[in-house]
Amino acid sequence: MNRYPLWKYILIAFVVVISTLYTLPNFFGEAPAVQVSGGKATIKVDATTRTRVQDALEAAKVTADGKVELEGNSVRARFSTTEVQKQAQAAISAALNPDKNDPSYVVALNLVPQTPQWLRSLHANPMYLGLDLRGGIHLMLQVDMAGAIDKRIDTLTSDIRTSLRGKDIRGRTAREGSAIVMRFSSAQAQLAARNLVSDEFGADLAAVESTQGTDYLVTATIKPDAIKRIQEAALKQNISTLNNRVNELGVAEPVIQQQGADRIVVQLPGVQDTATVKKIIGRIATLQVRMVDESSEGLAAERGQGAVPFGAERYLDRNGQAVIVKRDVILSGENLTDAQAGFDSQTQEPTVNLSLDAKGSRIFKDITRDNVGKRMAILLFEKGKGEVVTAPVIRSEIGGGRVQISGRMSTMEASDTALLLRAGSLAAPMEIIEERTIGPTLGADNIAKGFNSVIYGFLVIVAFMCVYYRFFGLISSIALSVNLLMLVSILSMIQATLTLPGMAAIALALGMAIDSNVLINERVREELRAGKSPQQAIHAGYENAWATILDSNITTLIAGIALLIFGSGPVRGFAVVHCLGILTSMFSAVLFSRGLVNLWYGGKKKLKDISIGAVWRPDGTVKPAQEDLEEDMQSAGIKPAQSATKNIATAGSGAKK
């Protein structure tokens, strides 16, 4: 009756072993480390960088705890204490960044797991710890919404100018304050321009006709609802860009989210150097495509023989040669959908292959068709400084939405340029209005308090269960241990971020998980009071309690899912642990605990007694189960036979505890 097939025992053993393996990494802790990553688009972190880091440590007589490792796009070195960590940072920074005003590498303080290699080979990694447990940097960024609107007005001005040229509507288009003013010499051109703005840009702009002297004007201004859309889009793009940039630099489990209408919260657990974080956030590359000014004044300025013409700017290419480009931006990073490094099929030179959106493809096709034989400059802006990546001559019309950048680039430069362009550009400038550093000591104190709360709660529950339910209480306690083991292992497998609310959810999960075992144990007692044999009572107790356990857990799970869907931040983290705890408790409390009971009692055919505590009378005294049955039969007017009473007494003798 109370026996599991072999496959169920194998399943239980497999779950316990896997849970143990993936829980182990959380007990090895973290070590102070120094992380080295590239500070410029042209800097590549590779095995040579690792060798330079090792040489710098040896020269400074600083010993790393283990090997200096190359992980992705960064080099990491572990150390025994934070004091040694800071000494190593100073030594590495001095060796790799001789020019402090223009550093080539970002040398950051970090914390890395000390998980053994054999566990890492199984992809067993510890849970990420949140800012409140691990320490790190908290920044509040204010997005310059006026800057986003200005940038949008500039883009619309350029787009309108291109559209008017494509429709052969001749006039002058310029931005005047927050308005776009188009001047024409005839009323027919004014009307055509007015219709064009309404048809192509009506979602964003409201156009008004007027006259000024002999000029016919069309003045376009941004609509209020378009301003709101621009601000929302700028905030979303900045969040996406920050996510991409921080992820590319290898910062573990960052939190980047919106707060309010124009603010962004950035949390970087494990990072202790605020200056380094600012460098990471500031490393945003922006792509711009402009035409080269090939007028006589522009060519003279390129040779250094004259001033830069009005409406143009001077930039340097990668060889230090001056290039005079027009101020009008044809395309920007907003029109870029992807960037990948590759090689030219004919020359085998390293290239950066760009993919443009539909709008960018149309503009690029029109520009290349109208400017065959002229030079077009592709500029990369990083840290506020622009550099001409290449300035090729347009040989023919280019369509299809794919553009190839080439010209005296190494494979490393092409790869890093593509990486930065994939990270995107900021839609609006930002400034830091709040910064806070949480030290690792405070984080360790929070971990200790949270860990103690879970352990003390667990021990109290175990003590109560063992005293009140005897051996069945011990089985329930073992099942509760397995539940905790499974919960921690799943959180480690999915690389969840554990915070203080998450630890509170673990403590709550333990209290809720034991409810299922209490229901089962009490049901077994009821069956014994009804006069069933111990084997029958165990079987009926688990079978009849399952429906109640399922109903109660489903209702609790619904509340957890609601928190998961509608909550954010700490509430969402609490909900994740809460929902997982419900699922693991159903496995441990029902399947695992019954497996132990079946293993212990199932092989005993003539079981006379089970250790499940006392079966109580309503008046508080203990009575055998068969007396309950006799009283029930007498109250119903049934006189039990002597032999039947004797048999019941024998079967229920195990309830006398």
Report DSSP state, residue 126. P
Average pLDDT, the chain: 79
Alpha carbons 195 and 173: distance in angstroms, whole number:
15
Task: Name every residue whose Cβ is closer than 8 Å to that of residue 34 and which is 6 or more positions away in sequence.
Answer: 76, 77, 79, 85, 88, 89, 92, 107, 108, 109, 110
> Does residue 143 surpass a pLDDT of 80?
yes
Task: Indicate the SS3 state at residue 76.
Answer: strand
- For 242-285, the pLDDT digits (tens) are 876 676 555 556 778 888 888 888 888 776 667 667 766 665 56
Which stretch of DSSP H or E encloses residue 556?
A: helix 534-566
Write out 346-402 in H/E/C secondary structure: CCCCEEEEEEECHHHHHHHHHHHHHCCCCEEEEEEEECCEEEEEECCECCCCCCCCE
Which pair of structure tokens corresponds to residue 508? Answer: 């709550």
- Bridge pairing between strands 128-129 and 497-498: parallel
Of 3.30.1360, 3.90.320, 3.30.1890, 3.40.50, the CATH number of 146-227 is: 3.30.1360
Alpha-carbon distances of 236 from 126, 145, 171, 433, rounded to whole Å: 31, 12, 36, 19
Task: Name every residue whose Cβ is closer than 8 Å to that of residue 623 and which is 6 or more positions away in sequence.
Answer: 615, 617
Radius of gyration of the chain (CA): 36
- Find the helix packing angle between 358-370 and 145-166, rounded to 10°: 50
- For 23-74, the pLDDT digits (tens) are 999 888 778 888 887 766 556 788 888 899 899 998 988 888 878 888 777 8
Please give the class, per CATH, of domain 285-425.
alpha beta
The answer to whether 503 touches 453, Cβ cutoff 8 Å, is yes
Angle at 553 between CA 548 and CA 554, to 5 degrees: 100
| Residue 545, Cβ density class (10 Å: 0-12 exposed, 13-18 middle, ≥19 buried) | buried
Alpha carbons 314 and 305: distance in angstroms, whole number:
13
Residue among 519, 527, 498, 514 at smallest CA distance from 629: 527
> Does residue 14 surpass a pLDDT of 90?
yes
> Does residue 371 surpass a pLDDT of 50?
yes
- For 305-353, the pLDDT digits (tens) are 888 888 888 888 877 888 999 888 887 776 776 677 788 777 777 877 7
> Does residue 620 surpass a pLDDT of 80?
no
Residue among 282, 285, 288, 283 at smallest CA distance from 388: 288
pLDDT, position 487 = 92
Alpha-carbon distances of 636 from 173, 275, 527, 632, 633, rounded to whole Å: 100, 84, 19, 6, 5
Alpha carbons 188 and 194: distance in angstroms, whole number:
10
Scanning the structure block, which residue is given the tokens 């959380």? 26
Alpha carbons 231 and 499: distance in angstroms, whole number:
32
- For 434-485, the pLDDT digits (tens) are 888 776 666 677 778 888 888 888 899 899 999 888 888 899 999 999 999 9
- The mean per-residue pLDDT over the stretch 160-171 comes to 85
Architecture of domain 6-10+440-613: Up-down Bundle (1.20)
Alpha carbons 595 and 593: distance in angstroms, whole number:
5
Cross-strand pairs, 338: 355
pTM: 0.61
Alpha carbons 614 and 468: distance in angstroms, whole number:
8
Q: Give CATH 3.30.70.260 domain extents, the chain.
A: 30-113
How many Cα atoms within 13 Å fall on the side-chain side of residue 110? Answer: 24
- The mean per-residue pLDDT over the stretch 191-212 comes to 89
pLDDT interval class at 619 (50, 70, 90): very low
Task: Name every residue whose Cβ is closer than 8 Å to that of residue 464 and which is 6 or more positions away in sequence.
Answer: 473
Which pair of structure tokens corresponds to residue 579? Answer: 């929902």
The answer to whether 274 touches 289, Cβ cutoff 8 Å, is no
Alpha carbons 254 and 267: distance in angstroms, whole number:
6
Q: Give CATH 3.30.1360.200 domain extents, the chain.
A: 285-425
Fold for the domain defined by 30-113: Alpha-Beta Plaits (3.30.70)
Q: Give CATH 1.20.1640.10 domain extents, the chain.
A: 6-10+440-613
CB atoms within 10 A of CB 555: 9
- The mean per-residue pLDDT over the stretch 6-13 comes to 90
